Amino acid sequence: MRRYGLIGYPLSHSFSQKYFTDKFQQEGITGCVYENFPLASIDEFAALIQNNPNLNGLNVTIPYKEKVIPFLTAQSNVVKTIGACNCIRIENGELTGHNTDVVGFEESLRPLLQAHHKKALVLGTGGAAKAVHYVLDKLGIAFYEVSRTPATARQISYQQVDEAIIKEHEVIINTSPLGMYPRVDECPPLPYQALTSKHYLFDLVYNPAKTLFLQKGEEQGAAIKNGHDMLIIQAEESWRIWNA
């Protein structure tokens, strides 16, 4: 039996387990199982690997995309560059870290991206944000990170995001968990009234399908997209990596 799974905490509303279980059934893939492994601390990771010698691959989600890196035997160039890993291939006791967020985000972002989308705001500074930064740099889109506690020249606080900043930055990407189920009445604190039909709001959250962040953008005529397509692309890229 080939075993795959997801580590993170909490994992009560995981996309991955249902996706892969359905994939195995629909595509007639036998001898495979995908499980959730909620780890209250990254300190539990070594024991997980030791106690499950038939693990072939893992996905990694909040809050361990950065914390898992010291446990890796090898890293892809993307993981080395951005310092975040969300996919691990396990072979002969060796753990190779990959990042499928990059592929998932780029391919999901592109369809609604317009020529005038030259500047972006990236809300949140976690592991997923690092993949977003990588893609924006690749696409030549300048950006600020928006953080509750800005610490670098590339970061600004939510209090600094006024109407002028919103009008200048026509792509806004939420990488934070704000608005994720069950806390669906939350959204990043922004002057949403400054949004226009030229704006593009992308939320990495997929549950609910339309977060309050996206609702407020849609009310102002902005293009909106959630993280569902990104997750599907990521999952398929993980499967390709595990079976390469």
Q: Hey, which residues are catalytic here? A: 65
Give the amino acid at 205.
V
The amino acid at residue 210 is K
Give the side-chain half-sphere CA count within 13 A for 224. Answer: 21
Contacts of 223 (CB under 8 A, 6+ apart): 112, 199, 200, 201, 217
Q: Which of 234, 241, 224 is nearest to 111 (CA)?
A: 224
Q: If we measure between CA atoms, which residue out of 122, 172, 119, 128 comes closest to residue 147? A: 122
Query: Strand ranges (DSSP E) for 92-158?
Result: 94-98, 119-123, 142-147, 155-157
Query: Which of these, 135, 129, 151, 133, lies nearest to 143 by C-alpha position?
Result: 133
Token pair for residue 41? 């601390």
Secondary structure of residue 80 in the 3-state scheme = helix
